Amino acid sequence: PVIDVHLRVRDPTARWARALHYHRSQTVEEREDGVEIRFRAGPQRAVAARALSLGPDCEVISPESLRAEVASLARRVLARHERPGGILPPAPDPGPDLSRVPDSVPPTPDEPAQEDPAPPGPEEA
């Protein structure tokens, strides 16, 4: 079923939410502290997930059924994250930080230096 959605999104998230396309029926009303977005859409579960993805700066004004679904999803997310370690195994050790390793490593004393191959000249092309 199609639902009439009314969201209030506060700054700083409102800056990002203004640029999102929810539905061709949408209207965006500027407010001093953010925006109010209205549109028709469905299914409700998808709209609830989108509203929740905007985080704590987003509030569903209506319909009440969507407010309830967002609250239910938020409680499930909270319950999953309150348990130490959650239900997923811990992430594997990422190993050493290689972000500062140069792209080329100088040769060791017992290794001959390798030169980069020269680009083909006009006679080889």
**Quick check: is 39 in a domain?**
yes
Which residues of the chain fall below pLDDT 50? 125
Q: What confidence score (pLDDT) does residue 83 get?
A: 74
The number of domains in the chain is: 1
DSSP state at residue 8: E
**Quick check: is 115 in a domain?**
no
Mean pLDDT of the chain: 81
Alpha helices, DSSP H, located in 1-125 = 13-17, 44-53, 64-82
Neighbouring-strand partners of residue 29: 36
Q: What confidence score (pLDDT) does residue 86 get?
A: 59
**Quick check: is 45 in a domain?**
yes
**Quick check: is 111 in a domain?**
no
**Quick check: is 8 in a domain?**
yes
Q: What confidence score (pLDDT) does residue 20 get?
A: 85
**Quick check: is 113 in a domain?**
no
Q: What confidence score (pLDDT) does residue 92 get?
A: 65
Place of tokens 């309150």: 82
Domain assignment of residue 31, given as a range: 3-82
Number of Cβ atoms within 10 Å of the Cβ of 113: 6
